[in-house]
Amino acid sequence: MIKKTSAQPAVPDTAPYDVTEQVGHLLRKAYQRHTAIFQQNACDPQLTSIQFVTLCALRDHGPSSQAELIKATAVDQATIRGIVDRLKARELVQLSPDPSDKRKVIVELTETGAALLDAMIPCARQISQLSMGCLNAGEQVAILFLLRKMIDGDEAAG
């Protein structure tokens, strides 16, 4: 949950508000650029970046419920359901009932999904390099650190 903070700038900002210089706008543009780079450089043109993240989560965490995938991928329930359906249609994942709770569905990486993931990893490394290509090594470390700090900010404060 994102909390509002009461932190105020030390000096009131009287400069005109330029939305194109705001963090949300810049993050959105950076994400759009990264997504375009992903689509241009993925070894499977049908695979989206969020599908790739979902496959990685299944590789890293093993068979998972949709609730566990939501937590691992930071994707909402309606979206993860559609992602799982598309991955299942391509036989990259398989679904089975949870042995301890038949109401739950467990999503598991198939051999085909694991093979695609193995093929995709070198592409993903290249995609990351291209996404941060204009940054020097120090800037790359800094941006990853700062993004993590922004994401974890609420957890540290709460």
Helices 77-89 & 49-61, crossing angle to 10 degrees?
90
- The pLDDT value recorded for residue 101 is 85
pLDDT (tens digit, 9 = 90+) per residue, 97-117? Answer: 988 888 889 999 999 999 999
Predicted pLDDT at 139: 96
pLDDT of res. 5 = 58
Report the Cα 66 to chain-centroid distance in Å: 15
Q: How confident is the model at residue 3 (pLDDT cuts 50, 70, 90)?
A: low
Average pLDDT over residues 28-37: 96
> Tokens 């299944």 label which residue?
58
Any idea which of 78-82, 100-104, 132-136 has the lowest mean pLDDT?
Answer: 100-104
Residues 49/31, Cβ–Cβ less than 8 Å: no
| Average pLDDT estimate for 47-63 | 97
* CATH code of the domain occupying 45-153: 1.10.10.10
Distances in Å between the alpha carbon of 29 and those of 2, 26, 32, 117, 120? Answer: 21, 5, 5, 27, 24
pTM, full prediction: 0.83
The token pair at 111 is: 């051999």
For 137, counting Cβ atoms within 10 Å of its Cβ (0-12 exposed, 13-18 middle, 19+ buried), the class is exposed
Q: What percentage of the chain exceeds 70 in pLDDT?
A: 89
Q: What secondary structure letter does DSSP report for 133? A: T
Please tell me the predicted confidence (pLDDT) of residue 98: 86
Across the chain, what does the average pLDDT equal? 90
> Is a pLDDT exceeding 70 seen at residue 8?
no
As a whole number, mean pLDDT of residues 2-13 equals 60
Q: Where are the domains of the chain?
A: 45-153
User: Band of the pLDDT at 154, cuts 50, 70, 90?
Assistant: low
Q: Which residue has the higher pLDDT, 158 or 11?
A: 11
With vertex at residue 145, the alpha carbon angle to CA 144 and CA 146, rounded to the nearest 5 degrees, is: 90
